[in-house]
Every structure is written in C-alpha cells, then in structure tokens.
Amino acid sequence: MTMVEALPATRTTCPYCGVGCGVLATPRAGGTVDIAGDPVHPANFGRLCSKGSALGETVSLEGRLLRPHIRSHVDGIAAERLEEQVGWDEALDYVAEKFGRVIARHGAEAVALYVSGQLLTEDYYVANKLVKGWWGTANIDTNSRLCMSSAVAGHKRAFGEDVVPCSYEDLETADLIVLVGSNTAWCHPVVYQRIVAARERRPELKLVVIDPRRTPTCDIADLHLPLRSGSDVALFNGLLSHLHAQGCADQGFIERHTQGLDAALRVALEGGELEAVAQACGIDAPRLQAFYELFAATPRVVTMFSQGVNQASSGTDKVNSIINCHLYTGRIGKPGAGPFSITGQPNAMGGREVGGLANMLAAHMDLDNPRHRQRVQAFWDSPRIADKTGLKAVELFEAIGQGRVKAVWIIATNPLVSLPDADRAREALRRCELVVVSDCVADTDTARLAHVLLPAQAWGEKSGTVTNSERCISRQRAFLPSPPEAKPDWWAICEVAKRLGYPEGFNFNSAQEIFSEHARLSAFENDAAQGDERVFNLSGLDALSEVQYDELEPVRWPLRRGEPSAAFPQFRFTTPDGRARFVPTVPRPPVNAPDEEFPLVLNTGRVRDQWHTMTRSGRSPRLSPHRPEPFVEVHPQDLLAYGLRDGELARISSRWGAAVARVQASGEQRRGNLFLPIHWSDAFAADARVGALVNPVVDPVSGEPEFKHTPARIEAFAVDWYGFVLVRDVLNATDLAELAYWARASGAQFQRYEIASRGAEQDWPAWARAHLSGRGDWLDYADASAGAYRAARVADGRLEACIFVSPRPDLPEREWLGSLFSRERLEAGERSSLLAGRPSLDGDTGATVCACFGVGRRTLQKAIREHGCTTPKQLGQRLKAGTNCGSCLPELRRLIEESMAAVE
C-alpha cells in the first residue's frame, strides 16, 4: 500500500441537493477521489444517489476558474478573458474601490449582492452582515428566492417563524406520505430510497403523488393525482372541506394552539364540494375522493412538498393550504406527521438561518421588527442596520436593467440561466456598470458578462457548515489541497469589507470564528421569558473550539445549551400569542393563462443526473448519458396537433423568449402541457436556456417566480441534416455557431455533440476536415442515395473524431462509438465496423440507464427478454444495474413493464 492509498477518508457532505448526505471522500494517487456514502450520517446512512456517487468525476481542475480577472470590456470571448489575470490584492482593491465609489455617489441602494443556497453558512453569514449591517441596505437576495421563498413565507405566516417541523424519520414512521409537486425519485433520491425501504418494511405505508406529470416518483405510488397546473390550493381547500365534513377536526389542538380557523374554513368551504374541486383541478372525482378519504383516515401523515408548490404565483397560498389541513387535524409536531417542505440546495436552510433573503434579518429575526433590528445592530456593533426590505431577485435584475442598481456581486449562482425572463436579465447585466462574479468554474453564462471574476474554492477544498432539509447541520470538510489562488467566499467578502474601511466586523481568521459568532447571535436575547423566543437557537454550539468545530458531528437544531438536539417547545409557536395561524387561501389561477397565440402550458424542472446549470455535473461522463441533450416532453396527441415527430427538433416559444430541444413523446404529460428541463445553458447547447421563456410573474407574498407555468407554443424546427460528432476536445464556439442546433455532453475521453443544420447542399467532408481537424487519416463513407455521410479520423490506430449525418434522425446509437475513445488502439474489427456505427457482433448496449455501472437500455432489455429478469433485483444480480445508488430503480421497473407488455 502506498502512502497516498493509506490516507483515511474525510467525512464531508454532498454539495448537491438538500437531502444533505454524508460522504466519505478518499483522495488517491493520480488525482482521483474515491467516494462512498457515510454509513453513520443520519441523512443517508451510507446511501448516495447517482450524482453523489459521481462526485469524484467533478473534482479535477479542468475548466476551473483559477485566478482573479479584471476585464475592461466584456464580450464573452474566452481568449480575451485570459489576458487580464490579476493578483487578489489588485482585484479586491478594484472591487472595493468601485463599490465604495458607487455608494458614495448614489447611496447604498445602488449596490447589491446576489448569492446562493450553495454557499456555506459562514460565507452567507458575512455576506448578509456586510450588506445589512455596514451598507445599511437589504439589497442582498439569493437564488433561494427562486426556490424556497414561498415555503419560508408560508411558514412565517403559519408558525411565526421559518421552521420546518419534520424530519426524514417522520417519513419512515408515517402511514401516509403525500408528495406534492415533488419529483422525489430524481430530485431527492436518497429520501426517496428511504421511503422505498420503509414501504418494504411496512407495506401499509401509503404513497400519494400530486403532480401534473406522471413522474418516475409515481411508479411506487398508490395513487397519482395529475392535477391541472397551479390548482393545488383548490385541491387542499377541498381536502379541508372534506376533513370538516367528516368531523376530523382535532378540537383540542385547534383551541389550544391555533387561531383563525373560521376565516380559513369559510374560504375552503366556498367551492369546496368534491365535484367543483375535481373540475377545478381537472382530476376524476373518484380519484380525488379516494385521496381525501385516505388522508382523513390516516392520523400519521406527512405532506412533503417542493417546487410544484413553491414556484407559482400562488406558491405561498399553496403552502398555507397544505399547512391548514395539518393544523386542522393536529397532525404536526408528532412522530410521522407534519407538513414537510423539502429544500433544494445543500444549504438552502443555512441561508435562511443567516437571513440571506432581502426580506429577512439574521438568525430568524425580522427586518420589519424594530426590536429585532436594534438587537442585531447591537450584537454586530454595526454602524447601520437595514430597515426595509431590499430588492428580491426578479426586482433586483429589473433594477439593474433600469440603472438603479449600478454594481452587483454575484456569488455561487448562474442567474443568466436560472432567472425567469433570462434574456432580459442578460441585457440588464450588459448595461450594469460593475458586475463581479465569484465562481469556481471559469465559463458560465453569467461569468461571460463579468467585469471582475473571483476564483472560489470548490467542493473538496472549502470548509464550513451546511444545513439540510431536516435542520441537520453538517460539516463540509476539505480533502483536497486548494489551488493556490482559489479562496473561500467568506474570505473574499471579508477582504472587500476591510478595504471599504470596516475592519471591526470582518476580522475573521477562519470559518470556525464566523460559525461561533453566528451561533452566538442565534442565542442572543433569545428568551421565552421576555416573550421573544426564536426556535432557531444554536447556543449549544456557540463556544466550539477549532478542534471541536472540525470534529462536529451532524446535529439538528434547535440546539439550546444543555438540552437535547432538535427538541421543540411542545406546540409553542413563535407568534406573539404562541399559536399557529390558519391562513385563508382563495384559489386563483396562474397569472398568465394560455391563449390562442400561446395555447400550451410550459412546465420546467429537473432530470435525474444533472445539477442545475451543469457547471459541475455536466463534466461527468457518468452523469451525462442519462439525458445527453435538451428535450421537450410532449403528449402524443399534441404531437399530432402541432405537426411534431418524436426524435425530431422543436422550437418552443413564449412571449418572453424561445428555445430549441429534441421532441420526446410522453404519455406522462397532461395534454396541453410541455415539460422542459432547466439544465442546458449557452455553454452546453445552442439555444436551450429555458429561463429565457419563463414569465417573470412572481408570488405577491414571497416574490418567487412562476417557473412551473408559462403560456407557450411549439412548432417543428425544420432542419436538413441531423447528426452527431464525437471528438476528443471541446469544439470552438464560433464553429458551432454555424450550426442550426448543437448540444454537448461529456463522455469518457470524448465530447458528444448532437448537431443539426440547414442547407441541403452542405459539404460535410469539408466541414469535418475544417472543424474536426488534427493528426491522422480520415475514413469517409457517403451514401448519396440516402444522403448520409459518415466519417472518422484515426491517428496511430486511435479514434480521434467521428461524424455521422443524415437527413433523418435515424442515426446509430452513440454508446458503442463513444466507448472506442477509451481504447488505446482500435482492433481490426472495430475499425471496419466504425462507419457502420455499430459493432459487427451484437455488442451495442443502448442508452445508459444505470449511471453507476454504465448499463444500457438494450443490455437490460436483453436480460429481461432472454434471461427472464422480471424484477429490478434480478437485473441487479445479473448486471449490477441499480445496485449502487438505486437512482435508476424507477426506470428499471418501467423497462420491465414495457418489455413484458411487448411480449404479451
């Protein structure tokens, strides 16, 4: 065993979703890292999903932003960016000087920070402190505005504080789990696996999914309610009416612990009859009735919700309509019961703790409460304190566009992809006097428009804490050496603050010092006796030594000194009278209704193996094959209605923008709905930034955009050629611009480009030689009658590039060709089969289903057909598929069903 191999694993936390899984990371010689689930972490007990398992493929320095840059002019051309590298001192002086100047001339309202739930709590804490305490404005908002803000607003309205009253264990002890607007199987896979395992132990545990789409999450559901987009409030008001009619009220709980039932019930009863609700929601009445009866009959019920609830112009009301049903039945704060908002990002919850949103203060205190403002200012000993809500994400970019905000610092988020009306946001940044971007990746759509780029430490290098969906604080620990010029985000923020002349508040030497201050603030004057208690309390952690902080085990808040972790004061809500509030929720349709011009509803969301704008997950050869290009799911009847064909391209447009994606026929859509994934940016595709289409309408209470509902239309995107290119290196952006369509995916030692172009007379041999040039010999094959062209370049027996084009999208599978890039030398048979695109023997595995073991669709179908594997378990025994992270189990089940149906 070498020295490197002997290195012990570092216990850290996954940097992707809000499940917050513990990870064991072991660096190996040669720069690779072994990744395993932490068997004792309470979020995952050793499990990881496909994204977590592939983390080792994302830690290389390729594509990293490694030095600060200052650019005098910005045009997004990579070559020019690289010339303007500067040292940190120069970059920090520049940022401080520019921000200082804008504040001196135009006031603090003219500057802003736009941050992220992917920051560590310590980064987040100092960002919020600088803006609210020293600049005295609340112009700091975060991508959590696009994510959790409706849940936050709903919690505050109902409980007086942003508190999530559930844990993962509650899911395991519940008798009914209702998943609302949550594709848990793909977006919170380890929680989903815990649900699956709980059902195996206790088959009586029922699962209901409420989602307009039949998602992979529905595969194990007892009941799926494919409601009309945006109609959740009507559905839960209907449930409240039903509970009322059935006498399910917990009178004692309502009397002792709540307020406002009458008004909420009155609203719910209006139009709350079954038939009316069924019609409003577009669901069969018997199905709805079945759900209502199940809910009414099951005391232990957890309603877990995510973006199908939050991302709507009625998002906050959706949240409260759910909470109302739990308050009415007293199903909250008990094992196996409660409304459970599951968070998206790894530290969405930590951001809420430090008050990173423009309408919050720090440590769960309120911006509009003078006592809270005084208290935070006193604790910080700050010169100022913000006293009114700052600009929320969508407003912030509007203000930038109008020149009211003149300098913005964007940290750990890629808003030019993720905001609604994203083309307008891009115009806004183009006009902005100063755009500073802190990122760990060099080429993001947002970084392309930055005047100053600051290199951040990435996962594996940075160190601090994050809080997951169930309020569990875990350490992220460094296990790789930091590139010399990559810095923690907290450090960059503190350095700018010091240069602005604020040394007092920002003299931190480590993440641990910041965490201690954060913990002390949470406990500061947090006093039940004075009627001013906040549940969020970390007094038990406010005096950790450096070593104790380093060794901190995962712990759940509240964490009051001397008390057990996660002990809630029994039903004392942190409203002035200690009672939770029912909130009347009047159903209202999404703001923009479909019309003649834009007759369809565009829904947007996630796929299993990509993370947001793909800056990290897009680099993983293991993750990319699952969905290698942007696609639009369309109901088969809509295909006919709009003249589309499965597998061809379509242009989807709205009043705000357009995108091009591959058509995927899907009976799992509601008719009239389209689904587009959110992940593709200009760095990965020609024209697939979905944010460009999304209407910028927001929820009036939370300011969260209506990402799940934009009127849109779809039409065929006519091209003369379909094709693909596999090539060792990334292609030049200007060469790609000639094509009508392209999308890139990472393979093992190659890049995959799906392409399409116009112009019947295209000279493909010349195109290939110009754009895929390099050493070696070209093999060409042109079939004039079919109009197809295929070519490959081979150097010293090694495949360097290949291109396949045809007038139809009937091209060979890419998997086998892609696998040849890992060969040092092609064998004779491989070489002669190259242009057939398929091995001479039946070795083609088909599109990847199991990312962990690279098992393809064809291989699986064969095992089902020929080897009688009729359960996922049998497939696992034979092919290992689904036996590591389990994220593909829903797809395995579906494949078995399909194959069996085909046989019958």
Ligand X SMILES: Nc1nc2c(c(=O)[nH]1)N[C@H]1C(S)=C(S)[C@@H](COP(=O)(O)OP(=O)(O)OC[C@H]3O[C@@H](n4cnc5c(=O)[nH]c(N)nc54)[C@H](O)[C@@H]3O)O[C@H]1N2
190 binds, among ligand X, Mo ion, ligand SF4, none (CB under 5 to 8 A by kind): ligand SF4
Tokens for 632, please give them.
């639009």
Q: Is residue 392 within the footprint of ligand SF4 (CB under 6 A)?
A: no
Residue 888 makes CB contacts below 8 A (sequence gap 6+) with 50, 608, 849, 850, 851, 881, 882
211 binds, among Mo ion, ligand X, ligand SF4, none (CB under 5 to 8 A by kind): ligand X
Q: Is residue 16 within the footprint of ligand SF4 (CB under 6 A)?
A: yes
Tokens for 435, please give them.
């755009």
User: Stretches 167-175, 194-202, 433-441, 545-553: which one binds ligand X (CB under 6 A)?
Assistant: 433-441
Nearest distance from residue 723's CB to ligand SF4, in Å? 33
Select 17 or 583, whichever has its Cβ closest to ligand SF4: 17
User: Stretches 14-22, 333-341, 507-515, 816-824: which one binds ligand SF4 (CB under 6 A)?
Assistant: 14-22
Question: For ligand SF4, which residue has the nearest CB?
Answer: 52
122 binds, among ligand SF4, ligand X, Mo ion, none (CB under 5 to 8 A by kind): none
Q: Report the sign of the C-alpha dihedral through residues 442, 446, 451, 457, in that order.
A: negative
x-or-dash string of contact with ligand X, 32-61, rule CB under 6 A: -------------------x----------
- Pick the binder of ligand X from 215, 313, 746, 848 (CB under 6 A): 215
Of the candidates 63, 31, 37, 33, the one whose C-alpha atom is nearest the C-alpha of residue 52 is: 37
My answer on whether omega of the bond before 558 falls inside 30° of 0, hence cis, is yes
Q: Is residue 48 within the footprint of ligand SF4 (CB under 6 A)?
A: yes
Q: Is residue 557 within the footprint of ligand X (CB under 6 A)?
A: no
User: Stretches 193-201, 329-337, 610-618, 637-645: which one binds ligand X (CB under 6 A)?
Assistant: 610-618
Q: What are phi and psi of 473, to 5 degrees?
A: -90, 125
Distance CA 45, CA 168 (A): 12
Q: Is residue 613 within the footprint of ligand X (CB under 6 A)?
A: yes
Q: Is residue 147 within the footprint of Mo ion (CB under 5 A)?
A: yes
End-to-end CA distance of the chain: 54
Nearest distance from residue 618's CB to Mo ion, in Å? 17
User: Stretches 385-393, 601-609, 645-653, 730-738: which one binds ligand X (CB under 6 A)?
Assistant: 601-609
DSSP assignments along 312-377, one per residue: STTHHHHHHHHHHHHHHTT-SSBTTBEEEEPPSSTTHHHHHHTT-STTB-STT-BTT-HHHHHHHH
440 binds, among ligand SF4, Mo ion, ligand X, none (CB under 5 to 8 A by kind): ligand X
Q: Own/partner pairs for 475-481, CB < 8 Å, 24+ apart?
A: 475/11, 475/12, 475/13, 475/549, 475/550, 475/552, 476/12, 476/13, 476/15, 476/120, 477/10, 477/11, 477/12, 477/550, 478/10, 479/10, 479/12, 479/25, 479/26, 479/27, 479/33, 480/27, 480/33, 480/59
x-or-dash string of contact with ligand SF4, 27-46, rule CB under 6 A: -----------------x--
- Under 8 Å between Cβ of 398 and 139: no
Q: Is residue 489 within the footprint of ligand X (CB under 6 A)?
A: yes
Q: Is residue 19 within the footprint of ligand SF4 (CB under 6 A)?
A: yes
Q: Is residue 194 within the footprint of ligand X (CB under 6 A)?
A: no
Return the residue matching tokens 């019961």: 337
- Pick the binder of ligand X from 10, 11, 13, 17 (CB under 6 A): 17
Tokens for 151, please give them.
């849940």
Query: Which residues, numbered 401-430, are part of the site for ligand X (CB under 6 A)?
Result: 411-415, 417-418
- On the CB side of 674, CA atoms within 13 Å amount to 35
Q: Is residue 210 within the footprint of ligand X (CB under 6 A)?
A: yes
Q: Is residue 444 within the footprint of ligand X (CB under 6 A)?
A: yes
Q: Are strands 111-115 and 140-142 parallel, antiparallel or unpaired?
A: parallel
User: Stretches 332-340, 344-352, 594-602, 734-742: which one binds Mo ion (CB under 5 A)?
Assistant: 344-352
613 binds, among ligand SF4, ligand X, Mo ion, none (CB under 5 to 8 A by kind): ligand X
Question: Strand pairing partners for 177?
Answer: 207, 302
Of the candidates 134, 47, 737, 681, the one whose C-alpha atom is nearest the C-alpha of residue 417 is: 681
Select 137 or 476, whichever has its Cβ closest to ligand X: 476
Q: Is residue 54 within the footprint of ligand SF4 (CB under 6 A)?
A: no
Number of residues that bind ligand X (CB under 6 A): 60
Q: Is residue 17 within the footprint of ligand SF4 (CB under 6 A)?
A: yes
HEC assignment per residue over 833-846: HHHHCCCCCCCCCC
Nearest distance from residue 183's CB to ligand X, in Å? 4
261-269 and 232-245 helices cross at what angle (nearest 10)? Answer: 110
The dihedral formed by the CA atoms of 234, 240, 242 and 246, expressed in degrees to the nearest 10: 180
Tell me the residue length of the chain.
Answer: 904
Q: Is 729 left (phi over 0), alpha (psi -120 to 50) or beta?
A: beta
- Pick the binder of Mo ion from 339, 344, 455, 854 (CB under 5 A): 344
- Under 8 Å between Cβ of 59 and 457: no
Distance CA 690, CA 633 (A): 13
Nearest distance from residue 411's CB to ligand X, in Å? 5
Q: Is residue 189 within the footprint of ligand SF4 (CB under 6 A)?
A: yes
Q: Is residue 211 within the footprint of ligand X (CB under 6 A)?
A: yes
Residue 108 makes CB contacts below 8 A (sequence gap 6+) with 135, 136, 137, 139
52 binds, among ligand X, ligand SF4, Mo ion, none (CB under 5 to 8 A by kind): ligand SF4
Q: What are phi and psi of 103, to 5 degrees?
A: -65, -45
Nearest distance from residue 388's CB to ligand X, in Å? 26
> What single-letter amino acid sits at 502?
Y
Q: Is residue 440 within the footprint of ligand X (CB under 6 A)?
A: yes
Q: Is residue 180 within the footprint of ligand X (CB under 6 A)?
A: yes
| Contact positions vs ligand SF4 (CB under 6 A) | 14, 16-17, 19-21, 44, 48-49, 51-52, 188-190
| Contact positions vs ligand X (CB under 6 A) | 17, 51, 116, 118, 143, 146-147, 180-183, 186-187, 210-213, 215, 229-230, 232, 306-308, 311-312, 344-345, 411-415, 417-418, 438-441, 444, 456, 462, 489, 603-606, 608, 610-613, 615-616, 678, 690-691, 694, 707-708
| Contact positions vs Mo ion (CB under 5 A) | 147, 344
